[in-house]
Amino acid sequence: MSRPTVNDIAKAAGVSLATVDRVLNQRPGVTEKTVGRVNAAIDQLGYVRDVTAANLARQRRYRMTFVLPETPVLFVGTLREAIAEAVRGSASDRTDVRIVTFPADNPHALVRALRTISRANTDGMAIFAPETPHVRDAIARLKADGVPIVALVSDLPNTDRDHFVGIDNVAAGRTAGLLMGKFHGRQPGAVMVLVSSMQARDNVERRLGFDRIMAERFPRIEVLPSIEGHDNDDVTARVVNAVLDNRPDITGIYSIGHGSRALLDLLRARMAPGTLSVVAHELTKVTRDALKTGMFDAVISQNVGHIVRSAIRVLRAKSDGVGIVPSQERIRIEIVVQENLP
Amino acid sequence: MSRPTVNDIAKAAGVSLATVDRVLNQRPGVTEKTVGRVNAAIDQLGYVRDVTAANLARQRRYRMTFVLPETPVLFVGTLREAIAEAVRGSASDRTDVRIVTFPADNPHALVRALRTISRANTDGMAIFAPETPHVRDAIARLKADGVPIVALVSDLPNTDRDHFVGIDNVAAGRTAGLLMGKFHGRQPGAVMVLVSSMQARDNVERRLGFDRIMAERFPRIEVLPSIEGHDNDDVTARVVNAVLDNRPDITGIYSIGHGSRALLDLLRARMAPGTLSVVAHELTKVTRDALKTGMFDAVISQNVGHIVRSAIRVLRAKSDGVGIVPSQERIRIEIVVQENLP
DNA sequence: ATTGACATGAGGTACGTACCTCATTTAGCT
DNA sequence: AGCTAAATGAGGTACGTACCTCATGTCAAT
């Protein structure tokens, strides 16, 4: 029941080992007819390359590059930590990981950062960045050189990226809306929606999902227009307090962005836990604290450890030309409440 | 920059390769003094065995045995499917997986099944079974022979098992209770609790957690004594219908067990979606259907794919004497509602 | 000094694959 | 038939580790 080896292929195809190697690795010097015979033997015997033996022979390293925004947003910090942890856990499997960052508000810096990444220093890239023409071009360049690309957290649907590792943000917004509606109860009320930036695709998609389900299933709850906090604590505090001052009928808050301390602080200063229904996104130190103390009711989350490991797995598989286990690489929309905090 | 090899250890310790091999693999014929020198060199250079190269040299296979109950319970079916999927995905990494089953209601058959498992045919065992003295003995026997053991889904805390792969069921019950309370709203009411069997540890623990949080946070909701469905559709239908007939003030149902079709069918026959708040456990074909159609409000779930992969990873790591990534092997209590169905 | 037991070293093969070199064979053209 | 270019084969080394054999060295006892 042992696995066929290159020697078995050589015998079955009636050729030498050198010819098998040439066919397997697309090296020149083999006629089409012979290529056919070797490939037939490969199919017939169900040969699958032993990637670990090949990596040993080749001294293969997998150089993965993660491109991340530099931002005070805590969620990105959790991503960085997850990458650091993955690096520690992968020391023994030939994977080298580096992080390339760009200031979140500087598209030129992003362009410059992407320029430093090439086939010469990267075997796979995972990128969390907005979709711009420059990003599209950089991805096309790398792909043309055979570098697999994973879009991380926020999809880049109009690029040639190989895979998206993240959640469906429309569905995440719908999930948030369903919970808000159910937590809210049957009385009428108004829900404030706080976003980081309406430019960010994930914020837009989440709001879309939220609006849909609130309209479909909880029409007695008024959903207010989005207010933007720009991932800035002072701005957030100002705009949220303004709404709370002007709308005493507010019964819930949906925080769409990647989480900030300001919202938690101002809620703490104004009211007791449980006064409003609060649903937020992403599990960070702040949202953990808020869940524990009852200031937030639920956090819609994605497992950053899983995301990072998945990105690495997918990039390696693409590099090796082998398949992935689709269910393993599917990132789930997680609902976290006080009692199931991981 | 490159990883030290056994040749580097030999040089640093001033001994031959054969001596390094003897020390690394605890072979006889080396003085304590020389062992010390070699181990010092290992520590100094930070040598880590290349397990994939060693496996190639040894033609190593990892023979994993999963011990599962035979039962109509759908959750166990999802476990089996997850194992089958993991087997397909692990064809290339030397892991052989087999399943040994025992009838769920037959402890003697379990004993017999465990007798067939030994160091001679197994390199690691994952077991989902009740904790009995016989199970304890079998685990002790296998452990004495160096076979690592993982308790699957239901912990075996009074055995020598190496690791538990599953969720904290008390916390799962608390999570269910929190959701039930929040979905329920502020009015008084009564919640029925349906269990598979009060003998099963996970059922007991979940009920414990549920009771605690209902008493702590939702004292206006009355929690009824458990009714047992014994994982039997006819029994379940009878006992649940009896309660619903006798208690028109029932406002919620908490289904603790591993899920059955009967509950869904009878609710369908009696009422429109959303009439009662229903919280159940485990994601199966039935509970998926119930969530999609709005008959159930939430399902507290554990990701069986993750569980199986985790068990295999942990057993392999134990076999190799290497560490695990704790956060990767932590199984989360997942909350699934209509909108975040995976 | 001699002998015996144990420790250690040297050298070799093996695993599956990658990659290289050079000799031999084959096929096509003149 | 002879020549040339391309295809193919044979043989070798390499990767890191496992595992084996046998020769050599060391040490203690007689």
Q: What is the pLDDT of residues B17-51, one digit of tens each?
A: 999 999 999 999 999 999 999 999 999 999 999 99
In this prediction, residue B1 carries a pLDDT of 47
C-alpha B73/C-alpha B94 separation (Å) is 31
Domain A169-301 in the same topology as domain A61-166+304-331: yes
Q: Within an 8 Å CB–CB cutoff, is residue A178 touching chain B?
A: yes
C-alpha A301/C-alpha A278 separation (Å) is 14
Smallest CA-to-CA distance from A194 within A264, A129, A130 is with A264
Smallest CA-to-CA distance from B271 within B246, B235, B295 is with B295
Tell whether the model's pLDDT for residue B260 goes beyond 90: no
Tell me if B130 sits within 8 A of B157, measured CB to CB: no
Comparing A124-133, A224-233, A303-312, B94-103, the range with the smallest average pLDDT is: A224-233
Q: Is the CB of B54 under 7 A from strand D?
A: yes
- Distance of CA A325 to CAs A256, A329, B90, B91, Å? 31, 7, 10, 12
Tell whether the model's pLDDT for residue B181 goes beyond 90: yes
Taking the CA atoms of B127, B129, B131 and B136 in sequence, report the sign of the dihedral they define: negative
In this prediction, residue A232 carries a pLDDT of 85
Q: What is the pLDDT of residues B117-162, one digit of tens each?
A: 999 999 999 999 999 999 999 999 999 999 999 999 999 999 999 9
Q: What is the pLDDT of residues A147-176, one digit of tens each?
A: 999 999 999 999 999 999 999 999 999 999
The yes or no reply on domain B169-301 and CATH 3.40.50.280 is no
Domain at B6-48: CATH code: 1.10.260.40
ipTM reported for the complex, 2 dp: 0.92
Q: Are strands B334-336 and B298-301 parallel, antiparallel or unpaired?
A: antiparallel
Chain A residues whose beta carbon lies within 8 Å of the beta carbon of residue B91: 48
Which nucleotide's C1' sits nearest to the alpha carbon of A5? C16
- No. of H helices and E strands in chain A? 13, 11
Which nucleotide's C1' sits nearest to the alpha carbon of B5? D16
Q: Is the CB of B31 under 7 A from strand C?
A: yes
β partners of residue A223? A191
Tell whether the model's pLDDT for residue A60 goes beyond 90: yes
Q: Within an 8 Å CB–CB cutoff, is residue B44 touching chain A?
A: no
- pLDDT grade, residue B259 (50/70/90)? low
Smallest CA-to-CA distance from B283 within A169, A206, A332, A300 is with A332
Q: Is the CB of A105 under 7 A from strand C?
A: no
β partners of residue A281? A300
| Partner residue facing B333 (CB), from A88, A213, A340 | A340
Tell whether the model's pLDDT for residue A5 goes beyond 50: yes
Can you give the residue ranges of every domain in chain A? 6-48, 61-166+304-331, 169-301
Which positions on chain C have an atom < 7 Å from some protein CB?
A: 6-12, 14-21
Are B92 and A335 a contacting pair at CB < 8 A?
Answer: no
Percent of chain B surpassing pLDDT 70: 99
The yes or no reply on domain B61-166+304-331 and CATH 3.40.50.2300 is yes
Tell me if B178 sits within 8 A of B217, measured CB to CB: yes
Q: Rounded mean pLDDT of chain A?
A: 93
C-alpha B247/C-alpha B242 separation (Å) is 9
Contacts of A43 (CB under 8 A, 6+ apart): none
Element (H, E) at B235: helix B233-246
Tell whether the model's pLDDT for residue A340 goes beyond 60: yes
Q: What is the pLDDT of residues A28-42, one digit of tens each?
A: 999 999 999 999 999
Smallest CA-to-CA distance from A192 within A256, A281, A237, A235 is with A256
Are A335 and B339 a contacting pair at CB < 8 A?
Answer: no
Q: Is the CB of A106 under 7 A from strand C?
A: no
Chain A residues whose beta carbon lies within 8 Å of the beta carbon of residue B85: 325, 327
Q: Within an 8 Å CB–CB cutoff, is residue B13 touching chain A?
A: no
Chain B residues whose beta carbon lies within 8 Å of the beta carbon of residue A46: none
Tell whether the model's pLDDT for residue A303 goes beyond 90: yes
Neighbouring CB atoms inside 10 A of A180's CB total 25
Cα angle value B95/B98/B103 (rounded, 5°):
155
Element (H, E) at B144: helix B133-144
In this prediction, residue A62 carries a pLDDT of 95
A316-334 mean pLDDT: 94
Are B335 and A333 a contacting pair at CB < 8 A?
Answer: no
In this prediction, residue A320 carries a pLDDT of 92
- pLDDT grade, residue B91 (50/70/90)? low
* A residues 50-79 closer than 8 Å to B (CB): 50-53, 55-56
A173-183 mean pLDDT: 96
Chain A residues whose beta carbon lies within 8 Å of the beta carbon of residue B175: 337, 339-340
Q: Within an 8 Å CB–CB cutoff, is residue A46 touching chain B?
A: no
- pLDDT grade, residue A259 (50/70/90)? low
Token pair, residue B85, equals: 């999927």
- Distance of CA A195 to CAs A232, A255, A258, B207, Å? 11, 6, 9, 39
Closest chain A residue by Cα to residue B86: A325
C-alpha B223/C-alpha A202 separation (Å) is 41
H-helix segments, B185-232: 201-217
Chain B residues whose beta carbon lies within 8 Å of the beta carbon of residue A333: 339-340, 342
Q: What is the pLDDT of residues A133-150, one digit of tens each?
A: 999 999 999 999 999 999
B91-116 mean pLDDT: 91
Residue that is written with structure tokens 């792909």 in the block: A143
> Across B53-207, where does the E strand assignment appear?
62-70, 95-103, 124-127, 149-152, 163-165, 189-195
β partners of residue A102? A69
Comparing A254-263, B120-129, B161-170, the range with the smallest average pLDDT is: A254-263
In this prediction, residue A188 carries a pLDDT of 87
Cα angle value B87/B79/B309 (rounded, 5°):
50
In this prediction, residue A91 carries a pLDDT of 65
CA of A5 to C1' of D5 (A): 32
